[in-house]
Structures are given as structure tokens and as C-alpha cells.
């Protein structure tokens, strides 16, 4: 479109130059006809450009493996036909592509629930897969890559330790693997339950957030260093943890700070020192239900929390993004569509990418997976959805070379399968300034040509009224 504007400017310039050179009415009439044609051509081309722009803004629709993509910037989606890959799907970037982790179960056999790790290339092809499990229920919630290239998973086990005979509560479970997938060590912790999130510390140790809620720190070999409880209220959980610049930690989750209140839960942000001692905590949300699911540190030292905020636990809430400063003071909060945000990343421009699911048109079935791109203030720039014939959930996302890589689950034929969904981040928003520039450029050019033609027409008429100039001859 901008190339078209440049061509039109050149043509308008030519018309102006030609207008100035006119010296008689015939040439003027010819130029007037040309200017009328120019105006009609400009109007037609503008209408075409506007139509193309609007067509380009129509959501792109792609389909693969009975799953479709709606919205801008979709590249592709790949469904992995591992029967019943359940929730808690996580993803990380690697040099060769991505690592996806989750919970696997084959309902057609007597196999136990197992943790699964899948390495895929940048185009989604499976490079290898590894199952982690014992004889009972074992699950992986999250995975990270260490600075030396190893991988560490966090989850829960009923196969090891005190649960070997089939205990009731899943114990915290950590596994460290080399970069080729071989297991280096396998650790479980009998008195700690529900491991959800972990991060590598500056010294190579690890910090884990559990649902009870606890922070647990272990060394590089998985040996327990300390465990701290934050059960200030009867009902609370920690879902996501990060290490801060000073070596301390922050975790997010939810807490019922007042059981007598009509608010069931607040999103909860806790900041500690390097030994796990609480420095401060903040709660957010005025709806009945407020949960912080994913926590990241932002480029300015503050925090962003993705989760949900809504009216009641049994009715889908709204996808929710909270932004705070480094001391937890609320800067802003935004809701997007009815549903839930599971994961958030910050982009290079300071904006955010959010993954979760949406509830469309009041339907309580066939929920699509949702991706939302925002600016640095949390204002929505664009969104896309990924949906099959039934419920779809986006669980986690990472930044990729092209934009974003999102993982989740899609329910197909009563079987939950993992998907990898890739999007670009080259969307220009908002689109309307392009049309405004076009209108102003063409309108200004036509107006200038019209004015110059009118002035030149007056000059020609004036010259012709004077008649031919007869030069006196001296005899």
C-alpha cells in the first residue's frame, strides 16, 4: 500500500509540472479530463486497497488433525496422538526445538499414569520421547532446562518413597535428565506434597513451589536444603515460582484470606529472601474467585501474573492479567474473555503473550484454546484460537524465533491429546492508520492538482483575453 502511495505522489508531481506548462485552452481541457480520470482511478484504487486491507484482517483459518486455528498470525498446529495426554502440559525452548512434558495414560491398557517428555523440532517433528514413572500414579507438572543443558522435572509420585505400596497423597517428585534424555537422579520427598513449579537458582540449586503451600530448596543433586511453609490461612496454594535478582524468591497462587467474606479467594503474591523468609505478600482481585496461575519477572523488576477472575468457581471466570511493581503494588489489571489464562510471557517490546482457554457465546462445551497478545499496558492487540470438536486448553507458552509456541490439550474421540501451536508476532496493530495515510495522501494530491488547474485556467483565460501582443516596428 505504501508503494502505491509513492507511485501516486510521482504521478501527481508529473501532473503539476504539466499544468504549469499549459498556455492554451485546448491543453487545459485535455488536462481537466485527465484530472477527472485521475480522481476516478484514485477512488477505485483506494477502494481496492481498503478491501484488500479488510480481507487481510479477516481471521486466518487453518486445519490439521481435526483441529482448526482462527485469527491472525497462525503458522501451524501439530497434534501428537499419544492417547490421553492429560493436563499440566509444559514447554521449554531448546537449541533443536522444544521439550514438551505432561501426564500420560493409555485407557486401553492397564498401564499406570506416567510422566512423559517429548522433544520436538522447530517444525513439530518428534525427535524422542521418554516416560518417567513407577508402578502407580506419577505426573509431571513442569520442566526446565539447566544452565549446563540438563533438564529437571517437577511433579508428584505415588510410586516411590512412602507411597510405594499405594499411598493416598502424591509426594513431591524431582527427576534430573541429561541433555540426551538419560536419567541422572530421581528424588522424592515424603513429607512434601503437590509439586507444581520450579526454577534454577543462581548457584545451580533449585527452588520448588508446592500446593500446600511450601517453598522447597534442593541442591544440584536433589538433596533437601530447606523447606518453608506459608500456611497463614486455611485455604491457599502456590502455583508458580521465580528467583529474583537479589537471590530471593517470589511465588504466586491464591489464598482465602477471610473465610467469612463473600470473596472465595484472592490472587496471592509472596516475596521472600534467599532463605525463604517472607518479606511481604499482596493479594489481588475483588470478584468472588481470583487465582494467580503463572508468575514472571518483568524487565523492570516488577511482576506479571496470569490467571482468572470471575463470579463463581463453577462458572468460567475471565482470563486475567495483573501487573505489579517490584514491591507488589498493583499497577494495572486487565480481563479479556470469559475463560482462564494459564501462562504468560513478556515480549521484547514490553507487551505480553497469554495462553489459556476461552468460553465463547455462553457455551459450556467445545471451549477453544486462546492466545492473546497485549501491549505493555495489557491492552489487547490481537487474539487467536485453536479448537477441535470438544474442549481445548492452552497450558503453557514460550517465545520462539517466529513469535510464540503454545502447548495444550485437545479432546478428540473421548481422548485427550497434546498439541503444539505456533504463531508469528509480526502483526501490525492497529491497521487503520494505513488507510488514513492513504486517504490523506491521495486527497491532498487531488486537491493540489485541482487548485493548480483552477489557477492555471484563470491565467490562460486572462492571457487569451489580452489577445496577441503586437510588437511595434520602428521605420
Section 98-118 average pLDDT: 78
Contact yes or no for 255/265 (Cβ under 8 A): yes
Contact yes or no for 418/405 (Cβ under 8 A): no
Contact yes or no for 138/167 (Cβ under 8 A): no
Supply the pLDDT for residue 361. Answer: 58
Supply the pLDDT for residue 61. Answer: 35
Q: How confident is the model at residue 441 (pLDDT cuts 50, 70, 90)?
A: low
Section 136-156 average pLDDT: 91
> β-strand 403-412 against 392-399: which pairing, if any?
antiparallel
Q: Is the dihedral of CA 357, 116, 194, 92 positive or negative?
A: negative
Section 414-427 average pLDDT: 85
> Phi/psi at 126 (nearest 5 deg)?
-75, 125
Supply the pLDDT for residue 256. Answer: 87
Average pLDDT, the chain: 80
Q: By mean pLDDT, which of 40-44, 99-103, 325-329 is the weakest?
A: 40-44
Q: How confident is the model at residue 104 (pLDDT cuts 50, 70, 90)?
A: confident
| Assigned C-alpha cell, 156 | 508428584
Q: How confident is the model at residue 185 (pLDDT cuts 50, 70, 90)?
A: very high
Q: What angle do CA 453, 455, 458 make, to 5 degrees?
A: 105
Question: What DSSP line would sit under 182-237, residue for residue?
Answer: -EEEEEEEEEEE-EEEEEE-TTS-EEEEETTTEEEEE-TT--EEEEEE--SSSSEE
pLDDT over threshold 80, residue 415: no
Q: Regarding the domain with residue range 60-424, which homologous superfamily does it belong to in the CATH classification?
A: TolB, C-terminal domain (2.120.10.30)
pLDDT over threshold 90, residue 387: no
Nearest to 344 by CA among 389, 380, 395, 309: 395
Contact yes or no for 319/335 (Cβ under 8 A): yes
Q: Which helix (H) or strand (E) holds 452?
A: helix 432-466
Nearest to 28 by CA among 243, 20, 266, 374: 20
Mind listing the pLDDT tens digit for each residue in 308-326?
998 765 566 899 999 999 9
pLDDT over threshold 70, residue 231: yes
Supply the pLDDT for residue 52. Answer: 45
| Assigned C-alpha cell, 263 | 470473596
Mind listing the pLDDT tens digit for each residue in 43-86?
665 555 555 444 333 333 343 457 888 999 999 999 887 655 66
Nearest-Å Rg of the Cα atoms of the chain is 31
Contact yes or no for 185/146 (Cβ under 8 A): no
Q: How confident is the model at residue 133 (pLDDT cuts 50, 70, 90)?
A: confident
pLDDT over threshold 70, residue 428: no
**Which of the given ranges, 257-261, 345-349, 425-429, has the highest pLDDT on average?**
345-349
- 151: number of Cβ within 10 Å: 22
pLDDT over threshold 50, residue 430: no
Supply the pLDDT for residue 453. Answer: 62
Which pairs with CB-CB distance under 8 Å and at least 24 residues apart come from 172-178?
172/208, 172/210, 172/216, 173/138, 174/198, 174/206, 174/208, 174/218, 174/222, 175/115, 175/132, 176/150, 176/151, 176/152, 176/222, 177/117, 177/130, 177/150, 177/151, 177/152, 177/153, 178/149, 178/150, 178/151
pLDDT over threshold 70, residue 100: yes
Q: By mean pLDDT, which of 213-222, 263-272, 341-350 is the weakest?
A: 263-272
Contact yes or no for 439/49 (Cβ under 8 A): no
Report the C-alpha gap between 289 and 310 in whole angstroms.
5
Q: In what order do the strands lie in the sheet with 415-424?
A: 74-80, 415-424, 403-412, 392-399
Section 345-372 average pLDDT: 85
Mind listing the pLDDT tens digit for each residue in 330-352?
999 999 988 899 999 999 999 99
Amino acid at each position: 500500500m505504501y508503494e502505491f502511495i509513492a507511485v501516486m505522489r510521482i504521478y501527481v508531481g508529473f501532473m503539476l509540472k504539466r499544468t504549469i506548462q499549459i498556455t492554451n485552452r485546448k491543453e487545459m481541457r485535455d488536462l481537466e479530463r485527465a484530472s477527472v480520470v485521475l480522481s476516478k482511478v484514485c477512488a477505485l484504487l483506494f477502494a481496492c486497497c481498503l478491501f484488500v486491507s479488510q480481507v487481510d484482517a479477516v481471521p486466518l483459518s487453518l486445519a490439521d488433525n481435526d483441529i482448526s486455528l482462527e485469527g491472525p498470525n497462525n503458522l501451524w498446529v501439530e497434534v501428537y496422538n499419544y492417547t490421553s495426554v492429560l493436563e499440566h502440559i509444559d514447554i521449554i525452548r531448546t537449541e533443536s526445538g522444544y521439550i514438551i512434558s505432561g501426564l500420560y495414560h493409555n485407557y486401553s491398557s492397564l498401564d499406570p499414569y506416567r510422566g512423559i517428555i517429548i522433544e520436538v523440532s522447530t517444525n513439530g517433528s518428534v525427535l524422542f520421547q521418554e516416560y518417567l514413572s513407577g508402578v502407580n500414579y506419577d505426573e509431571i507438572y513442569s520442566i526446565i532446562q539447566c544452565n549446563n543443558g540438563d533438564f529437571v522435572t517437577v511433579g508428584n509420585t505415588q510410586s516411590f518413597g512412602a507411597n510405594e505400596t499405594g499411598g493416598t497423597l502424591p509426594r513431591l517428585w524431582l527427576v534430573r535428565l541429561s541433555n540426551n534424555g538419560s536419567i541422572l537422579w530421581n528424588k522424592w520427598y515424603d513429607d512434601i506434597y503437590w509439586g507444581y513449579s520450579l526454577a534454577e537458582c543462581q548457584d545451580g540449586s533449585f527452588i520448588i513451589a508446592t500446593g500446600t503451600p511450601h517453598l522447597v530448596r534442593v541442591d544440584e543433586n536433589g538433596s533437601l536444603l530447606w523447606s518453608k511453609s506459608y500456611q497463614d490461612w486455611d485455604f491457599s496454594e502456590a502455583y508458580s515460582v521465580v528467583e529474583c535478582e537479589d537471590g530471593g524468591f517470589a511465588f504466586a497462587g491464591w489464598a482465602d484470606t477471610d473465610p467469612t467474606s463473600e470473596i472465595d479467594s484472592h490472587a496471592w503474591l509472596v516475596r521472600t529472601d534467599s532463605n525463604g523468609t517472607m518479606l511481604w505478600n499482596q493479594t489481588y482481585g475483588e470478584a468472588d474467585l481470583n487465582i494467580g496461575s503463572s508468575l514472571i519477572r518483568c524487565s523492570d523488576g516488577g511482576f506479571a501474573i496470569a490467571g482468572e477472575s470471575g463470579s463463581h468457581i463453577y462458572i468460567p471466570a475471565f482470563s486475567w492479567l495483573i501487573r505489579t511493581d517490584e514491591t507488589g503494588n498493583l499497577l494495572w489489571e486487565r480481563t479479556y474473555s470469559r475463560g482462564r489464562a494459564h501462562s504468560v510471557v513478556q515480549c521484547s517490546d514490553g507487551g505480553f503473550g497469554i495462553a489459556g482457554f476461552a468460553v465463547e457465546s455462553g457455551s459450556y462445551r467445545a471451549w477453544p484454546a486462546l492466545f492473546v497478545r497485549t501491549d505493555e499496558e495489557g491492552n489487547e492487540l490481537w487474539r487467536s484460537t485453536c479448537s477441535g470438536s470438544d474442549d481445548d486448553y492452552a497450558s503453557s507458552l514460550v517465545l520462539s524465533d517466529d513469535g510464540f509456541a503454545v502447548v495444550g490439550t485437545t479432546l478428540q474421540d473421548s481422548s485427550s491429546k497434546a498439541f503444539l501451536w505456533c504463531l508469528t508476532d509480526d502483526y501490525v496493530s492497529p491497521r487503520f492508520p494505513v488507510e488514513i495515510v492513504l486517504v490523506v495522501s491521495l486527497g491532498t494530491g487531488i486537491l493540489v492538482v485541482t487548485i493548480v488547474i483552477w489557477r492555471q485556467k484563470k491565467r490562460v483565460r486572462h492571457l487569451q483575453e489580452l489577445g496577441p501582443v503586437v510588437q511595434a516596428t520602428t521605420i
